[in-house]
Amino acid sequence: MDTLDVVVLGAGPAGTAAAITLARAGIDVTVLDKATFPRDKTCGDGLTALALRHLEELGLDPSTLGSWLDVDECHVTSPSGHRIHLPLPDPRSGRFASVTTRLELDAALVDLARKEGATVLEGVELLDAVEDADGVTLTVVDRHDDGEHASSDANRRVRARWAIGADGMWSPLRRALGVSEPGYRGEWHAFRQYVSGVADEAGHALHVMFEADLLPGYFWSFPLAGGRANIGFGIQRGGKVAVGEMGPIWKDLLQRPHIRRVLGPDATPEGPHRAWPIPARVDRALPATDRTLFVGDAVAACDVMSGEGIGQALLTGVRAAESIRDHAVGGDPARCYATTLRQELVADHRMSTLLVRALRHRKGARAAIRVAGATPWTRRNFARWLFEDSPRGIALTPSRWHRGALSGPGAYLG
């Protein structure tokens, strides 16, 4: 059995970001995913400045994605119905927020990983994993198109010096290595549905509505190219709304006058809604074992306030790859990666946690939105901050204090 340099479990944004970074460094990397691409991934599809900058650095070309739409304005509505308009910077300053379907985004990243020299094997499922002092041995099996396993004779082993777990919140790699968290179900739960024929208001602007009965959760409408939108809502697990009540609430939400007004009379569902959990506890999740580094949802890196996770997935994937690239010989990649996560994500997580506490109550949500909309300066800068132009925890991390930290250009300049 040959020994690879790195094997990556999962070909979503976190896994492909790691693979692209490693392949560019001349490191032998193989990515395994039980799905075949393109495949849908239940998500809000929003791309913050954090995500856009990493996609640009990785070399993704937005013009290749038919659903891609740049967003230059956002509308935020408080529980009392007070609505503010938040303009994003002039497009000549770069892109700060965009929307594209995960069906297209993930497939494009898989193609990019292959172009950079990574091996990507689709339809391959992990059965078991064993880690020792020198590497990780994976037992995998091919899946048929119908999702059934091939015969047990088709099981094979893959040996690698390092492994990266990019295989989601309920990471099979974590479970196989005995470092999963039994019973964990995420911090948030969300619904998503695609609609077509939306009104112009929903077709070009991003809407966030803090509904009184969902706090600190919210309803969203994110525009997509072609008069479509990704709509949905999220709730905090363990809050006043139970996950089992989300179906009836969804029907009620779509009948609320202010939501119907934004979507327009001709908005038509394209298919059934989908639900998914959102892991957001990067401050507590184990980031690595001796030979395996966990990224994206597998390290619970989603933002605990917004539920956004694509930017964090890309960031953690790149940082895990850099840790292996720079410290595999004579260093400790796992320890380096854990330190990097603390420096780049934990302070932001703690700031978001404080904001969630304020948004649990109507008064807190109303006050926050009124302050954000108080002046042209607050509206402009709140929009940039909301879409992660600057890290949320910048006040807690002096290492980030430098000229332009709060006013830098967006991604894809020119």
pLDDT over threshold 80, residue 405: no
The band of 245, judged by pLDDT with boundaries at 50, 70 and 90, is very high
pLDDT single digits (tens) 85-141: 999 888 888 999 999 999 999 999 999 999 999 999 999 999 999 999 999 999 999
Q: Is residue 258 part of a domain?
A: no
- Mean pLDDT across the stretch 31-58? 96
Q: Read off the pLDDT of each residue in 46-57 and give the average, rounded to a whole number.
A: 96
pLDDT at 58 over 70: yes
Place of tokens 């944004």: 13
Q: Tell me whether residue 206 is in a domain.
A: no
The pLDDT tens digits of the residues spanning 294-340 come to 999 999 999 999 899 999 999 999 999 999 999 998 889 999 999 99
Q: What is the pTM of this model?
A: 0.95
Round to whole Å and give the CA distance between 171 and 175.
Answer: 6
More confident residue, 392 or 31: 31
Alpha-carbon span 140 to 65, nearest angstrom: 32
Averaged pLDDT for residues 201-212: 95
* Rounded-to-integer distance, Cα 337 and Cα 291, Å: 11
Domain of 42 in residue numbering reads as 3-46+104-184+281-349
Does residue 261 lie in a domain region?
Answer: no
* pLDDT band at residue 151 under the 50/70/90 scheme: low
How many domains is the chain built from?
1
Mean per-residue pLDDT over the chain, rounded: 93
In which band, very low, low, confident or very high, does the pLDDT at 404 lie, cut at 50, 70 and 90? Answer: confident
Is residue 54 situated within a structural domain? no
Amino acid 148: pLDDT: 65
Classify residue 21: in a domain, yes or no: yes
pLDDT top residue among 346 and 172: 172
Determine the pLDDT at residue 322: 98
Whole-angstrom CA distances from 157 to 8, 124, 130 are: 14, 11, 11
Q: Please report, for residues 133, 169, 252, 301, 338, the alpha-carbon distance to residue 238 in angstroms, rounded to integers and kept in the order given.
A: 40, 18, 21, 19, 28
Pair 3, 160: CB distance under 8 Å = yes
The answer to the question of residue 109 being in a domain is: yes
In CATH, what number is assigned to the domain containing residue 169? Answer: 3.50.50.60
Question: Does residue 262 register a pLDDT over 90?
Answer: yes
Closest CA to 218 of 253, 261, 169, 187: 253
**328 in a domain, yes or no?**
yes
